[in-house]
């Protein structure tokens, strides 16, 4: 394989509902920051928040992109996310189908073509 799987990432983001998840996914796709966004509805989340154990139904967004776009991706997620502390967890890939990884690479913008102010993210 001539493509290094470690130069790709999967980012996990939770959203409060399907409408917000769709808005975030579409903004990231239009900005070419991700090649694919999967929405997994009805995720049950249990977590500590401000000293209390909380419970919520959320939507998990699974985003596929490149490690090179990690910072821009985080900024764009924060710009569109209603949570003050959104979950943004990126995982490097250890392996992947070369054809799929090549498709990701072809589907996202290169860093040099990104709008530094993310004007395309409305």
Length of the chain: 122
Going by pLDDT thresholds of 50, 70 and 90, the confidence category of residue 52 is very high
* Within-domain flag for 119: no
Element holding 60 (H helix, E strand): strand 52-66
pLDDT digits (tens, 9 = 90+) for 75-92: 999 999 999 999 999 999
* Within-domain flag for 21: yes
Contact 47, 86 (CB under 8 A): no
49: Cα separation from own chain's centroid: 22
* pLDDT confidence of residue 1: 56
Indicate the number of domains in the chain.
1
Rounded CA separation 88/10 (Å)? 10
* Within-domain flag for 116: no
pLDDT surpassing 60 at residue 17: yes
* pLDDT confidence of residue 109: 87
* Within-domain flag for 120: no
Q: What is the dihedral of CA 59, 64, 68, 69, to 10 degrees?
A: -50
Going by pLDDT thresholds of 50, 70 and 90, the confidence category of residue 6 is very high
Going by pLDDT thresholds of 50, 70 and 90, the confidence category of residue 51 is very high
Contact 69, 101 (CB under 8 A): no
* pLDDT confidence of residue 113: 61
User: Which CATH number characterizes residue 84's domain?
Assistant: 3.30.70.120
Q: State the residue range of the domain holding 47.
A: 5-110
* Within-domain flag for 115: no
């Amino acid at each position: 394989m001539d493509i290094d799987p470690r130069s790709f990432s999967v980012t996990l983001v939770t959203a409060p509902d399907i409408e917000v998840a769709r808005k975030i996914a579409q903004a990231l796709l239009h900005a070419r920051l991700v090649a694919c966004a999967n929405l997994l509805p009805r995720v049950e989340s249990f977590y500590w928040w401000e000293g209390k154990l909380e419970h919520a139904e959320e939507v998990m967004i699974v985003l596929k992109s490149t490690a090179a776009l990690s910072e821009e991706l985080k900024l764009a997620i924060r710009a569109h996310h209603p949570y003050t502390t959104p979950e943004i967890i990126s995982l490097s890939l250890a392996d992947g189908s070369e054809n799929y990884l090549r498709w990701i690479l072809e589907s996202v913008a290169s860093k040099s073509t990104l709008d530094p102010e993310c004007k395309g993210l409305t």
